[in-house]
Copies of this chain bind each other. A is one copy, B any other.
Amino acid sequence: MNRTPLILVTNDDGIHARGMEALISVTRRFGDVVAISSREPMSGMSHAITIKVPLRVKLVSKEPGLTCYVTNGTPVDGVKLVFNSLSDRKPDLLLSGINHGSNSSSSVLYSGTMAAAMEGAVNHIPSIGFSLLSYDPDADFTASGRVAEEVIRHVMEQGLPDGICLNVNIPALSSEEIRGIRICSQANGYWKEEFEKRTDPNGAEYYWLTGFFHNREPENGGTGTDEWALKNRYVSVVPINTDLTAYDVLEKMKSLEFAQTGKHE
């Protein structure tokens, strides 16, 4: 039976973000859309789930081919709600974004956008997270919408390996300026945090998290990394594992098994 594909669209910037609007608009060309987003922006929420407070869900709009919900939960809560309660069938594809701001390199670990995509992959649904390298709420999503369309078409035709999702980052450039799409590895980098320490009107100290990204890759090496691709005007696509096992170090660690615990057997 050839049904219209059902596609789940979510993000971590909230339901009114232009990036989500752009992604929904592209996605409708491929199938029926069920969209869910958090009532408030949830950047940096990573794979957080809500255990301590009840989850609320509100149906925002419903028209042929498009149903939109908001929730007080995190991006991953939203994905779980659609998988388990809000849809009578399992989505064929999960798309997250288009995020306002980069999720390249180790930012994938903190990203609510990518956590939603990883949640899809854990549930055996082909999933893609999209991010535009601009934090501007009024950013132009024309070029990134075209990139998204191309990647979505590829994944709908070819599928994705089980447990793998894609982390797609797009330079904030026009379609003409973007040089192509590169399949990349995650650059070795980290956020060097500097906390801004302030004093409130009551004399108590507090901190704001701030900081900047530090790339550990060599300047002219790391040509296969997402950071290199983005700096060189390419779209970066990193296939992301939800099995976090470091298989290459697993064998080397076997010596630990011959240690003290259990030696009484």
Contacts and interface: CB of A to CB of B under 8 A. Distances in A.
Contact of A150 (B57, B234, B261): B261
B54 A185 contact: no
Interface string A121-165: 011000000000000000000000011001100100000010110
A109 B198 CA distance: 33
Is chain A's interface secondary structure helix, strand, loop, or mixed overall? mixed
Interface stretch (A3-11, A23-31, A89-97, A187-195): A187-195
A123 B164 CA distance: 25
Contacts of A194: 84
Interface of A: 41, 43-52, 54-57, 76-77, 80-81, 83-85, 106, 108-110, 115, 118-119, 122-123, 146-147, 150-151, 154, 161, 163-164, 167, 175-176, 178-186, 188, 190, 193-195, 197-198, 200, 204-209, 234-235, 237-247, 249-250, 252-254, 256-257, 259-265
8 contacts: A46-B47, A46-B49, A47-B47, A51-B209, A146-B261, A180-B261, A185-B250, A188-B243
